[in-house]
């Protein structure tokens, strides 16, 4: 006879935190949101940590190199989507690692044979008025000049005018050599009253641009997630099919951590993948696994060698796995169960394995609830898909700006490897949908608001860091009528566009 759980599975929306004593020191500015990203032994520190507990989902419509840089600036990490060719994924990783803090790999470049019309089109597409001119028009070609808005007048010039005729040529540019530090670059900018400084290698190939406007921005990003060489930290997704070829390429490209992208992690396929990593790289390559929804699944992946474990099946906004296959578990219950297993494993082995809550989050406060329930960090898809930096198109739907968003289990993604069960290389049916999400603007602004809520709630509970929060947090299940009571009710709202309830919409 089948096994039946004696209690129902619950979602985040069915829980509330009960406030605790707050000391005078417990203010949001004092809250430390640093969390471990990979496993570590008792008495030691994790070799990789996050400055904020956020990661972006391994999805085509979410995690490309642009979003990875933006999120790393805020202290989180992106996992570049693996449902693309090995070469393309590795190239995205390279572009992130080439973005040293303050040193920008130019995404707005042109050749000297292009025209003013091409410059205007490029400016419209990228929004950038400073355009490096390289011999071949690439981001790392030989630098031959620069075009800024001061170099041309649209009303007085023929659109067919060659860039070479009005650009500021290389012999009139101030440039910096490749070994220049960020401080030295900023000193050159200020001493010479520049708006932008090209950094070139020994062969005069363009490497980076340093901008005057970025000086203040970097002062405002104290939580930037950087490696020892001041490059942004980035993760990459892999599957359980071509890992023998994909993993070496991603490591060569500079990926700091990998993660198996799979709809269900309690499988021999994931064990084989983890075994390959350990046999070929030992502990030098860090890799997460998942997803699981109970203690048995956690223990399986922990014993197989996972550095962190993702929790959640069927709870994502674009996921229809539960509807299609009838498997999964309420996200809150799954997370609580896995957290208990993680703590038990730590007591037995002295090894702490971080867990990542993946899916089921609709409101900002669900992030805080997940932390209280034992999650070390979150993986979010819809949340990040709404931002300027996500790779999808911004479209106007009935007068409202939206961003395209589709699941990895949708026909559009065609990511059959994520649902690999050893059969044919195709999707027999969809486990994700193709959709839109409301456009929300810049990542930086939205993340700041979400994390302000997290810090404020932690202070209400009397905690100044995540480990303390998890020790002292008190949670209560609530009734369906309590959920109604918790929102605006029995009133007529003046502004229907206000974000009542703080959801991701």
Active-site residue numbers? 319, 418
- Rg over alpha carbons for the chain, rounded to the nearest Å, is 24
Identify whether 291 is preceded by a cis peptide bond (ω within 30 of 0).
yes
Question: CA-to-CA distance for 311 and 308, rounded, in angstroms?
Answer: 10
Residue pointed to by tokens 């069960």: 421
Return the structure tokens found at 86.
């090995």
Q: What are the phi and psi torsion angles at 476 (to 5°)?
A: -130, 140
For 115, the 3-state DSSP assignment is strand
Q: Residue 389's closest CA among 408, 403, 399, 378?
A: 403
Return the structure tokens found at 191.
């001493």
**CB environment 37-72: b (16+ within 10 A), e (fewer):** bbbbeeeeebbbbbbbbbbbbbbbbbbbbbbbbbbb
214 Cβ neighbours under 8 A, 6+ residues apart: 102, 104
Question: CA-to-CA distance for 288 and 376, rounded, in angstroms?
Answer: 13
**Beta strands 143-147 and 434-438: pairing type?**
unpaired
Q: What are the phi and psi torsion angles at 309 (to 5°)?
A: -130, 130
Residue pointed to by tokens 């297993």: 341
Q: What are the phi and psi torsion angles at 4 (to 5°)?
A: -120, 130
DSSP string, 61-113: TT-SHHHHHHHHHHT-EEEE--SS-HHHHHHHHHHHHT-BTT-BPPS--B-TT
């Amino acid at each position: 006879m089948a096994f039946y759980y004696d209690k129902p599975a619950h979602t985040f929306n069915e829980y509330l935190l009960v406030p605790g004593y707050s000391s005078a020191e417990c203010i949001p500015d004092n809250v430390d949101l640093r969390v471990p990203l990979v496993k570590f032994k008792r008495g030691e520190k994790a070799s990789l940590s996050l400055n904020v507990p956020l990661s972006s989902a391994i999805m085509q419509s979410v995690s490309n190199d642009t979003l990875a840089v933006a999120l790393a600036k805020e202290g989180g990490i992106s996992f570049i989507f693996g449902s693309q060719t090995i070469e393309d994924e590795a190239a995205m990783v390279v572009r992130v690692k080439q973005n040293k803090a303050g040193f920008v790999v130019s995404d707005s470049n042109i050749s000297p044979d292009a025209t003013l019309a091409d410059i205007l089109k490029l400016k419209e597409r990228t929004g950038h008025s400073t355009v490096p001119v390289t011999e071949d028009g690439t981001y790392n070609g030989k630098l031959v000049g620069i075009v800024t808005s001061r170099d041309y007048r649209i009303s007085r010039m023929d659109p067919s005018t060659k860039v070479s005729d009005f650009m500021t040529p290389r012999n009139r540019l101030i440039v910096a050599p490749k070994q220049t530090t960020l401080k030295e670059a900023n000193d050159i900018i200020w001493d010479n009253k520049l708006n932008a400084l090209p950094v070139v290698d020994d062969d005069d190939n363009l490497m980076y641009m340093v901008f005057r406007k970025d000086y203040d921005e970097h002062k405002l990003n104290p939580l930037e997630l950087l490696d020892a060489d001041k490059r942004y930290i980035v993760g990459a997704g892999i599957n359980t099919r071509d890992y023998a070829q994909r993993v070496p390429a991603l490591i060569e490209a500079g990926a700091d951590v990998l993660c198996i992208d799979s709809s269900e992690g309690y499988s021999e396929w994931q064990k084989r993948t983890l075994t390959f990593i350990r046999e070929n790289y030992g502990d030098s390559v860090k890799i997460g696994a998942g997803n699981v929804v109970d203690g048995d699944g956690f223990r399986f992946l922990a014993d197989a060698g996972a550095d962190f474990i993702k929790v959640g099946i069927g709870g994502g906004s674009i996921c229809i796995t539960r509807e299609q296959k009838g498997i999964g578990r309420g996200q809150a219950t799954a997370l609580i169960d896995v957290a208990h297993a993680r703590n038990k494993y730590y007591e037995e082995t002295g090894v702490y394995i971080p867990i990542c809550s993946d899916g089921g989050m609709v409101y900002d406060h669900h992030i805080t609830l997940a932390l209280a329930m034992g999650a070390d960090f979150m993986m979010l898809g819809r949340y990040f898909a709404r931002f300027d930096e996500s790779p999808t198109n911004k479209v106007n739907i009935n007068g409202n700006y939206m961003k395209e968003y589709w699941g990895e289990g949708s026909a559009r993604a065609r990511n059959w490897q994520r649902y690999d069960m050893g059969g044919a290389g195709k999707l027999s049916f969809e486990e994700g949908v193709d959709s839109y999400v409301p456009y929300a603007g810049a990542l930086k602004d939205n993340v700041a608001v979400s994390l302000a809520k997290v810090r404020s709630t932690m202070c209400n509970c009397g905690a100044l860091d995540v480990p303390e929060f998890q020790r002292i947090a008190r949670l209560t299940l609530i009734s369906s009528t309590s959920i109604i009571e918790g929102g605006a009710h029995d009133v007529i709202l003046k502004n229907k566009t206000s974000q009542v309830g703080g959801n991701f919409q």
